[in-house]
Structure 1
Amino acid sequence: MTLLELKEDRPTPKAVYNWRVYACAVVASFASCMIGYDSAFIGTTLALPSFTKEFDFASYEPDDLALLQSNIVSVYQAGAFFGSLFAYATSHFLGRRKSLFIFAAVFLFGAGIMLAANSDRGIGPILAGRVLAGIGVGGASNMVPIYISELAPPAVRGRLVGIYELGWQIGGLVGFWINYGVNTTLEPTRSQWLIPFAVQLIPGGLLFLGLFWIKESPRWLFSKGRRDEAMKILCWIRNLEPIDQYIIEEVRLIDRDLERYEREVGRGFWRPFLALKKPKVQWRFVLGSLLFLFQNGSGINAINYYSPTVFRSLGITGTNTGFLTTGLFGIVKTVLTFVWLLWLVDHVGRRRMLFVGAAGGSLCMWFIGSYIKIADPASKTDARMDSAGIAAVFFFYLWTAFYTPSWNGTPWVVNSEMFDQNTRSLGQASAAANNWFWNFIISRFTPQMFLKMKYGVYFFASLMILSIVFVFFLVPETKSVPLEAMDRLFEIRPVRKANKIVMEELQAQNAAATRVSPEDASSSTDEKERRSHQEEVAESVRAMSR
């Protein structure tokens, strides 16, 4: 294999890698555009002169202002925490697609409420609207990775789930730059700060409209016994006929997985909770939680939500200068997300990227923290930066280059892959809730940290070093492994060899199946199962034709 060659678990027709599966992933990822935009625009909006004047920020004491700003930002994460949990219930009863309809509508309602805020009504509508918008994005952050992973062929699953992360970065890029634009082109009136709030409606509206076109997850339909509908959608997404061998094998794998969990766990809303008694299930929930602890422990959301504050700590002064530096940060993240999405995640793999990102990012953070400790640039009155300050800014962008193609999106990819069908919704709900919980902690206390601790906030560097140890010993490589083989992957020790062993087993099974003679095959259990599935497929075809 070459570095850029896709690694398939079995021979896959080219038709499987068609435009439909990519289009469904793109439409669903409008949800991440609204998440990324909301995460990025609020920090610079709070620094707009028109916004600070509208709500009289000058009248607050520093501690009180830091508390108000953190509340404006963090109520969104609090809403997202509960939204990600609500999504488990809606997903179980209504499916992935209808759940996204609900959360897109909640987000749009919340974004609309924010537009009612002004100096007379106070900041209350913004706080209430951000809670509702948070519920919407929290639910969407649960649903979209699951939905995409269940549609995706294994060889490009990381790439397709990565589109979700790309949408996040594109939304963030717009969010970082929009306030630079309104601050340089518009007078500091209410309209200046209202425009960034109104733009939230665009990605939310595109998601809501796009949901009328995309299909429900076939795996969810199979789990609910809606086989004819599931077969029709699966064939549409794969661009294959129902009697194609690839379809027959995929349905057989799905059925085997469902039968096994019917036997071991059972179906029902509460059954996955009962499955948490099993250590192997508990362990994957713990891994998902820790992945997002270390992701947020990198410091990314301190930068996303309070970028002007972060750059001010490096000695960058002036509203437009801070906005410009923040905008460049957004460009670097977006460009590198493209690189990660198109080449790295499905070729280099998850583990290797997490190693490189954590090691390089930690070194950069140590340099930045040392500079702030020694030079104390925030206390200087001279607006010009010395060579050490310029180096600190360079290392900040270098940190972004290490972080973005590693810890930015990879935890979402791994969490979307590693749970079985019966615990996937609950597992993703747990992972998303943990993401928003740690997100909330960071956003709630970052202003106070910068106000009181200064350089001490770069304890993030230590957490990035710890994440290397965590990944090396505990997180297996999930690249190219079918969803139905994840249980086997997580059974193998040491974890660094698990992916290689599972892929060799799958390839050996496929080779053995192709070597079986017709006489032997006719009496084999697998062949009988295959013929049974062919009969079911034929019945599904007849049902669809009716």
Structure 2
Amino acid sequence: MDVKLGTGPRTDHASPATVSRRLRLITVVATFGGLLFGYDTGVINGALPYMTDDLGLTPFTEGMVTSSLLLGAALGAVVGGRLSDARGRRRSILTLAVLFFVGALAATLAPNTEVMVVARFVLGLAVGGASVTVPVYLAEISPAERRGALVTRNELMIVTGQLTAFTCNAVIARVGDESGGVWRWMLVVATLPAVALWFGVLVMPESPRWLASKSRFNEALDVLKQVRTRQRAEAELKEVAALAVKDAEQQLGGWADIKATPWIRRLMFVGFGIAIVQQVTGVNTIMYYGTQILTDAGFTSDSALTANIANGVISVLATFAGIWLLGRVPRRPMLMTGQLGTIAALVLIGVFSLILPTGDARAYLVLAMTVTFLAFQQGAISPVTWLMLSEIFPMRMRAFGMGMAAVVLWLTNFAIGLAFPSLVDGVGVSNTFFLFAVLGVLAIAFVKLCVPETKGRSLETLEAELRTRFS
């Protein structure tokens, strides 16, 4: 199939400065999905203690309220991936903005545990869809040399959303003086960025690679001219179009390919492994239960809410560092270094919780280790995870493949979030964190043996390399 670059609507010549500004604007708008992802996963950290009293939660229903979002995210990831491949990245993000708004409002107004669990599940659908669609959209619209930096802006917005949630929780708790229903104000804040995301996406272009996968080459060229210089846009479209034709001939795009194509099947296994590696550090136990961990270590409830802001601050700073590192070091060593750092922090949290009595010394040492843990997690593991998952799958099934990997990620997250309160109650904080440390060692072995390097290639070159490697 020939691609006629000279037909269709014309786009004015764009200077490099104009191209850069457009890319930054598109990235900011798209990553509001990441901001909502972070806020809705982080807000439960401070809201849960107040919600427990108002709704009469037990340890099991606490786990259900927390993890229902994660179960929804698992479904949202696979459904969102399929819809994104079928209907386009832009339209999918618009739908997600509506789900974020409806879910946040329903959770705010929830009269009982059952409604809260359903509302959190709806939020989970949006979080799961955003976890797939936003990184794929950014990966497909970014030039190869800037892909790492732009895709990981979404991770930056996730941790910014979590920091915003921690800060809002602390401020609202102090202003509300722990009055009944204070948690509702914590939850309703999430409706504001949902509205901003919906209006922002209305003026965003569609992914050029998705357009090419649907043989809409002229439209793909028009979008590329908005975010590339004209000469580069035309050259890039030729490469994208050639691969789109090849994928169409091989009918790559869904479940049948996983069953029938060995290299796709092996690649899915790698994607599943990367997803599990990110979760078995236990990161979300600190994100969801951080306030309770610090309270158990010796902080008062108000002090724990305030101290927990340190976790959010270090997550944001570490993500900035991670974005800088991704442009300079390979992905695999960065992922393994992050694992080593989190293992050390987990072991020390367990040791301090085991040998030190409850009090200031234990409280501040545990806080120092949670901060250290998050520095390695958010500075290395999480950025590399979401970036690699957005890179490794073929163009025609990129969102579907990432969606399937995200299902595994969210189901692992769900299992850990649901089990954590019972684990702490049954075997104690120390043994729980020692267990996560052991899983971290196994994760390093998997990365060393199975995960490919993806840095420095265009998505089309990378697809050809992975096709050869796993065939």
TM normalised by structure 2 equals 0.91
Aligned to 1:199: 189
Which residue identity does 1:406 align to in structure 2? A
For the Cα contact (< 8 Å) 1:104–1:140, is it kept in 2? no
Query: What is the CA–CA distance in structure 2 between the aligned matches of 1:327 and 1:389, rounded to whole Å?
Result: 15
Equivalent residue, structure 2, for 1:444: 418
Partner of residue 262, structure 1: 248
- Give the aligned partner of residue 99 of structure 1: 92
Q: Which residue of 2 aligns with 1:68?
A: 61
Q: Which residue of 2 aligns with 1:357?
A: 338
The answer to whether the 8 Å contact 1:415/1:431 transfers is: yes
Q: Does 1:157 align with 2:143?
A: no
Q: 1:456 aligned to 2:431? A: yes
Among candidates 367, 385, 388, match of residue 348 of structure 2 = 367
- The aligned counterpart of 1:184 is 174
Which residue of structure 2 lines up, in the alignment, with residue 305 of structure 1?
A: 288
Q: What percent identity do the matched residue pairs reach?
A: 27
Match of 1:62 in 2: none
Match of 1:476 in 2: 452
State the 1:406 CA deviation. 0.9
Larger radius of gyration: 1
| Structure 2 SS opposite 1:188 | coil
| Match for residue 405 of structure 2 among 420, 426, 431 | 431
- The question of whether the paired residues in 2 share the 8 Å contact of 1:16 and 1:153 is answered with no
Cα distance between partner residues in 1 of 2:243 and 2:209: 10
Instruction: Identify the range of structure 1 (315-324 vs 85-94) with the bigger mean alpha-carbon deviation.
Output: 85-94
Instruction: Indicate how the Cα distance of structure 1 residues 250 and 276 shifts in structure 2: closer, same or farther if over 3 A, else same.
Output: farther
Aligned to 1:251: 237
Report the alpha carbon displacement of residue 395 of structure 1 after superposing the two structures with TM: 2.7
Partner of 1:285: 268
**Larger displacement relative to structure 2 (20-29 or 155-164):** 20-29
Alpha-carbon distance, 1:141 to partner: 1.3
Deviations 1:233-253 (A, max 9, x none): 111121x23xx2x22321111
1:283-336: CA deviation from partner (whole Å, max 9, x where unpaired)? 1111111111111100101111111222234x2231111112211111111111
Q: What's the offset of the Cα at 1:156?
A: 0.8
Specify every segment of 5 or more residues in structure 2 that has no aligned partner in the other structure, as ranges.
Answer: 1-14
Q: Secondary structure at the match of 1:306?
A: helix
Closer/same/farther in 2, CA of residues 53 and 389 from structure 1, 3 Å limit:
closer
Q: Tell me the alpha carbon deviations over residues 72-123 of structure 1, each in whole angstroms, 9 at most, x when there is no partner.
A: 1111111111111111332233111001111211221121212222xxx323
Contact 2:108 2:185 in 1 (8 A): no
One-letter amino acid of the counterpart of residue 351, structure 2: S
Q: Alignment partner for residue 346 of structure 1, among 313, 327, 330?
A: 327
Distance between the aligned counterparts of 2:329 and 2:369, measured in 1?
24
Is 1:326 the equivalent of 2:321?
Answer: no
| Among candidates 430, 433, 442, match of residue 466 of structure 1 | 442
| Structure 2 Cα separation of the partners of residues 91 and 282 of structure 1 | 21
Query: Counterpart amino acid of 1:27?
Result: V
1:492 Cα deviation from its structure 2 partner? 6.9
Q: Residue 156 of structure 1 contacts residue 480 of structure 1 at CA under 8 Å; is this kept in 2?
A: no
Deviations 1:474-506 (A, max 9, x none): 21221121100123433677x9xxxxxxxxxxx
**CA separation of 1:492 and 1:347: change in aligned 2, threshold 3 A:** farther
Structure 1 equivalent of residue 372 of structure 2: 398
Give me the whole-angstrom Cα distance separating, in 2, the residues matched to 1:333 and 1:274: 38
State whether residues 19 and 227 of structure 2, in contact with CA within 8 Å, keep that contact through their aligned partners in structure 1: no
Structure 1: runs of 5 or more not aligned = 1-12, 58-64, 496-546
Query: Do 2:295 and 2:301's aligned partners in 1 also have CA atoms closer than 8 Å?
Result: no
Question: Structure 1 residues 16 and 427 mapped into 2: Cα distance closer, same or farther (>3 Å)?
Answer: farther
> CA distance change for structure 1 residues 276 and 147 in 2, over 3 Å: closer, same or farther?
farther
Name the counterpart of 2:12. none
Shift of 1:396: 2.7
| CA distance in structure 1 between the partners assigned to 2:467 and 2:81 by the alignment | 26
- CA RMSD for the aligned pairs? 2.0
Q: Does 1:233 align with 2:223?
A: yes
